[in-house]
Every structure is written in C-alpha cells, then in structure tokens.
Structure 1
C-alpha cells in the first residue's frame, strides 16, 4: 500500500520484495540440511534434492539479474547519494554468483554418485552462499527498499518482478510462486496474486497450489 509523508510524495509499495526474500532465506537454510540427509548411494533421492537446489539457484540468479538490469540503474539515476550502496549491492551479487559457479559442478558430481563427502562439499558451499545471501538481503531491505519506495513508480517496481517471471518456464512458475507464497500472510498472498492476470491467478490458486504441495512434499519428506 502507498503511504504519504508530510514532507514528500506517496511512497510506493515494495513489500513484495520482503516476501520473496523470506522464501530465499528459508530455502537456502533448508538446502544444506537436505544435502546432508541423503543416504550414501541413494541416487534417486540425490536427483530430487539436486533438482530443487538448481531451481533455487536459478530463482536467485533471476532475482539478482532483474535488480542488476532494472533496479540499480534507476536508483543510480535518481538517488545519487546511493552510488556507494549500489556498488556494494552489485559486489554482493557478484560474490553470490561466484559461489553458484562453484556449486554447480560440485552438485553434478554429488548427484552422479551420492557420496557423503561430495554432498558435504556442496552443503558447505551452500552454507557459504546462505551466509553471503542473508547479509545481502538484510542490507537490501534496510537500505535499498526505502530508496526504491521513494524514487520509483509502482509501474517501474512491478516491471522488475515481471522481468524475472517472464524468464521462468511454465513448469517453474507454479513452483517458484509456491515457494514465495508458502510463508506469506493472507494479506501478502492477496497482494501478490492481485498483480497477476486473472487466468494466471486462477491457475496458481488451483492447479499451481496442488503442484507445489506435491513438489514440496517430495523434496522435504521424500514422498
């Protein structure tokens, strides 16, 4: 929702970013646990966990890419004092991508053999990524979102999220959306769904919701 201050124009609503961040915090915390829990040699279970890891990593890369392409340029143009902050945000994105580049081949090696030692290597890297990511998300929410709320229009803000969604496959969309919605409050769910076209909204509420429940049960519980 928009708010107006006594000294300035209405602020746009950027809370959807907080909801997305909540999903990343949860998934990257859980991933290290899932990796370590796979029994030695269980290739079927390793494939499920590896698939989920790749989906979470792809979602993070899409999220960061939309910010790099669309958000930082607007903030640098309209909030010049934030240049140092934006440089730090870009550097943190670079650290995360560097870790993802290291995780991907390690994940492939583990998936092929399901050796505990290889799984531990990936889990440690995931832990490093989670630590880097949590610090980044905290600073972004503390320092970047207030700038965006003041400097962008609601349409410009919406385009940043839409850019990431547009790059998802039809199979990825309900799962990614389900991840974001999982810990959302009823008010947050209504706001997130409200910005979508009616056919997409209906699809995500019905088939998409069921698909996510099946997916998350398979990933976390092995069922």
Structure 2
C-alpha cells in the first residue's frame, strides 16, 4: 500500500543531510590537515548548516505543533514526539558548539573532532528515529492540508538560499525525487534551477 502523504522531499532532505555530514566528518578526521580550516574555507559546512536549520525550524514551527494536537490523548505517541524534539535541541547545541570552535582560540583539535563525531552520530540516530517513529504518525494522524502547510513552510525557509541549496539537495538524487522536489517550488524557481542555479553550482559548490 502506498503512503497517503508523499514524503519524497523529507526523505531527500534526510538522505542529503546524512551524506553531507558523513563527508564532512571524514574530511575533518584527516590527520594531515586542520579540520577547522576545512570547515571555514569550504562551502560544505555552511550548506549543511543552512539546510539543517531550515529543515529543523520548519518541523518545529509547522509539523510538531499540529501533530501534537492530532495525537492529543495518546500519551505514548506524544512521548515519542517529545523525544524527537529533544533530539532537535541537542543537534542545535552541537552545531552551535562547532561554529564557536571554528574561531575560538585554544580549542584542541581532538575536542573539535569529538564535536563533529557527536553531531554525526546524533544526526544519523535522529533521522532514523524520525523515519521509524514520526513518519508513520504523520501518515496516520495528519491531514493533507496540514501536511501541505508544512511543505509550504519548508519551501519558504529554504527560499532565501534556494540558488545554492536546491542544486546541493538534488545532487545525486534520482529523477523522480528531482521532479517532485522541484514541483514544490514556484515556476520561476524551477526555471532558475534549470537554467542558472544548477549550472553555477558546478563551479561554486
């Protein structure tokens, strides 16, 4: 049986976040370079950070509240949702600590590496928990209108960075995912992606 709500964009975002942070963690774990320099001069960390912030803030503002209301009276499912919200807070704290460590004097390299590894472990676990426990709740409890509102909010949050984030997100995605994600954006954004953003991203990202 197919899902009632299409979650292609969510899975595409999750998969890209996993791949990108895994790449970042490997780059910063190299013994022949300063990981802080890699994150400061490369675009990967900034793109990852922006994408994660847009994704999490959209869930915090437009997904968790209506889902919590839909689950009222079911304490077990509400507890599962609250656990995912707590994971959000932990990830935000780790991202902030890494950003601070990029410029703070005297931060030892091993501590910086521990922060990146903690973020990777936390993110992979959180995304798996969302897919295993929250996505089924969304499918069973959330209306199509509320799901559509969340998708709209997510697209708006990405909007200011769309010229960079959209090619980044769709890099390596299959044709169905590319088509579906693009369909969630207005026609001018789709045209800009096809004719300008995707081309420029090959040299700037």
TM-score (norm. length: structure 1):
0.78
**Unaligned 5+ residue runs, structure 2?**
none
Verify: 1:72 aligned to 2:61, yes or no: no
Correspondence for 2:17: 24
Contact map agreement 1:89 1:136 (CA 8 A) in 2? yes
Equivalents in 1 of 2:69, 2:39: separation in Å? 46
Contact map agreement 1:14 1:157 (CA 8 A) in 2? no
Q: CA deviation at 1:46?
A: 5.5
Q: CA deviation at 1:204?
A: 1.0
Cα RMSD between the aligned structures?
Answer: 2.7
Q: CA deviation at 1:161?
A: 3.4
**Unaligned 5+ residue runs, structure 1?**
4-9, 217-223
What count of residue pairs does the alignment treat as equivalent? 201
Verify: 1:153 aligned to 2:146, yes or no: no
Q: How does 1:111-126 map to 2 (within 5 A)?
A: 118-126=108-116
TM-score (norm. length: structure 2):
0.84
Equivalents in 2 of 1:93, 1:186: separation in Å? 30
Contact map agreement 1:181 1:189 (CA 8 A) in 2? yes
Contact map agreement 1:32 1:127 (CA 8 A) in 2? yes
Q: CA deviation at 1:159?
A: 2.7
Contact map agreement 1:178 1:209 (CA 8 A) in 2? yes
Equivalents in 1 of 2:56, 2:97: separation in Å? 17
Correspondence for 1:135: 125
